[in-house]
Amino acid sequence: MDLEKTYDKIYRYVYFRVGDRMIAEDITQESFLRFIGKYGNFHDYEIKYLYTIARNLCIDEYRRIKPEPITEEIEDKAGMGGISEECIMVRQALDKLSEEDREIILLKHVNGENIATISKALGISRFALYRKIKNAEDRLRNELEVEE
């Protein structure tokens, strides 16, 4: 995997966690700087370390500033070429899930990471991860059905 694709994956991961482009760019850049500062270069890297650094920086950001929930004002803009209604429904359903469930769904379905990478990044066995993925998907499906 090349640097650009890896940067995009880490950025997308961070953006879905913090919901702000500027902050996501800063955290992504800081993740790479810390990784290179610790390991010296980008060759022979493992993406799990970048995810771990990015995750810790997102946690630090959450401690600093709590994210704003989706408001009716944003929902009103959905019909005017802004955020689609489906996007808002998915985002609200994701917000109702636990932090761990959101992270698993993000890594698996948004970033397309394989089971081995996710299990290493989260520090759990592959078998436990399979079970957690199924449970997270079921909870998300249930939340989406309730909102419809």
d(CA 58, CA 55): 5
The pLDDT confidence band at residue 78, using thresholds 50, 70 and 90, is: very low
pLDDT higher than 60, residue 122: yes
Length of the chain: 148
The pTM assigned to this predicted structure is 0.64
φ/ψ region of 125 (left if φ > 0, alpha if ψ in -120 to 50, else beta) reads beta
What values do phi and psi take at 98, rounded to 5?
A: -70, 160
Burial class (CB in 10 A: 0-12, 13-18, 19+), 139: middle
- Whole-number pLDDT of residue 89: 82
- Whole-number pLDDT of residue 40: 72
pLDDT higher than 60, residue 68: no
Task: Write out the two tokens for 97.
Answer: 């899930």
Task: Write out the two tokens for 15.
Answer: 């953006």
pLDDT higher than 50, residue 31: yes
Question: Range with the lowest mean pLDDT among 4-13, 80-89, 96-105?
Answer: 80-89
